[in-house]
Amino acid sequence: MAKTAIRIENVRRVYSSRKGFLFQEKVESEALKGVDLTVDEGEIFGLLGPNGAGKTTLVKILATLLLPTSGKASVLGYDVATQARELRPHIGLVLGGERGLYNRISARENLRYFADLYGLPVADRERRVEEVLRKVGLSGEETRRVEEYSRGMKQKLHLARGLLHSPKLLFLDEPTIGLDPKSAREMRKLIRGLVDEGVTIFLTTHYMFEAEELCQRVAVLSKGRIVARDTVAGLKRLVGGDRTIEIESYGLDGPEVARLKALPGVSHLTSEDFGPRERVTLRVRGNDLTHDLLTAALPGHRDLSVRERPTSLEDVYLDLVEEAPE
């Protein structure tokens, strides 16, 4: 049985600010509303959610950069609030983007500087710098100024910095955002390689196909709450099956939509307008619902368009986020 790498129990985080005349009015914003979550050692765990859901806040709490307002969180057996000093040598954090690197010096000089901050012995520093440069594919580019690097190269350097001290657990916050497809594919390959070496990965991402490709389990965070957690296959069962059927036509009325919802196997239905046409999307369990049953339910629509495809993680995500309570 796998050991627990991260345990989160009823974690809340409230941000306070002031507004109004002379800033006398205190305003509170609850970013996390009682989050519970566990992550096993040796897995890639994905945290999904829209902008403003609280993903980065949760990552910063787990990485000891923020304190929770209430609740408890432990990483690798260390309490993030009371044992931050003991925990930090064992974790790495990669936030990415343009910040966090010194553009006017070389990649090697950046890594030497961060190695000193991590407290790596001078005797081991050069060896470790060369190791991480080679691991992320920047060997041969290490003497160039970082300002000359592409976005993908900078992201690799961020990852190299996070790996310098050989962490047991790595937090990756949107690691491929803004990367071209080739660079994003290389980054995903690097991430999989780290898990093969025994590193636990806690990953946040907006890209559903990335989570589906990389993660053993995922959780969906919406409006400060975890609304679902499971394997990708488990989430598909939760929202109503691995079949998605899309129906398009002109002028679908309420009774017709109700007939569609009552068809065998239909567990979830959404409707949206596409100009003069309307699209109804069905989540379907099992194989009882056939094309003939669909067309029989809408006998007056000769222009009917019916398409079937496998349910994707993006479908699941949208269903869960749209239904999340305030």
CATH number at residue 153: 3.40.50.300
Is residue 141 included in any domain, yes or no?
yes
Give 174-201 as a DSSP string.
Answer: STTTT--HHHHHHHHHHHHHHHHTT-EE
283: domain range?
A: 241-310
> Distance between CA 79 and CA 74 in Å, rounded?
4
The count of domains in the chain is: 2
Is residue 145 domain-shared with residue 178, that is, in the same domain? yes
Beta carbons within 10 angstroms of residue 187's beta carbon: 21
Is residue 51 domain-shared with residue 158, that is, in the same domain? yes
Tell how far CA 103 is from the center of its chain: 28
Is residue 165 included in any domain, yes or no?
yes
Given this model, what pLDDT does residue 114 score?
94
Given this model, what pLDDT does residue 324 score?
58
Is residue 125 included in any domain, yes or no?
yes
Given this model, what pLDDT does residue 325 score?
60
End position of a domain, from candidates 199, 214, 236: 236
Given this model, what pLDDT does residue 95 score?
81
Q: What is the DSSP letter of 312?
A: P
Is residue 325 included in any domain, yes or no?
no
3-state secondary structure of 169: strand
Is residue 259 domain-shared with residue 185, that is, in the same domain? no
Is residue 86 domain-shared with residue 188, that is, in the same domain? yes
CATH number at residue 259: 3.30.70.100
| Cβ-proximal residues to 320 (8 Å cutoff; 6+ apart), any chain | 220, 222, 227, 228, 235, 239
Is residue 326 included in any domain, yes or no?
no
> Distance between CA 76 and CA 85 in Å, rounded?
13
Is residue 117 domain-shared with residue 260, that is, in the same domain? no
End position of a domain, from candidates 203, 236, 269: 236
Is residue 268 domain-shared with residue 163, that is, in the same domain? no
Distances 172 to 103, 203, 215 between C-alpha atoms, Å:
21, 5, 13
Given this model, what pLDDT does residue 299 score?
87
> Distance between CA 252 and CA 267 in Å, rounded?
19
Contact 140, 95 (CB under 8 A): no
Contact 129, 164 (CB under 8 A): yes
Is residue 316 included in any domain, yes or no?
no
* Regions of the chain short of the pLDDT cut 70: 1, 20-21, 23, 96-97, 240, 323-326
Is residue 60 domain-shared with residue 150, that is, in the same domain? yes
Block residue for tokens 């923020």: 66
Share of the chain above pLDDT 90, in %: 50
Is residue 266 included in any domain, yes or no?
yes
Contact 267, 285 (CB under 8 A): yes
Is residue 125 domain-shared with residue 139, that is, in the same domain? yes
Given this model, what pLDDT does residue 33 score?
95
Beta carbons within 10 angstroms of residue 198's beta carbon: 9
3-state secondary structure of 234: helix
Is residue 139 domain-shared with residue 286, that is, in the same domain? no
| Total-model pTM | 0.83
Is residue 232 domain-shared with residue 245, that is, in the same domain? no
Is residue 287 included in any domain, yes or no?
yes
Structure tokens at 101: 């690197």
> Distance between CA 307 and CA 225 in Å, rounded?
34
Is residue 151 domain-shared with residue 281, that is, in the same domain? no
Given this model, what pLDDT does residue 310 score?
86
Is residue 96 domain-shared with residue 143, that is, in the same domain? yes
Rg value, the chain, Cα: 24
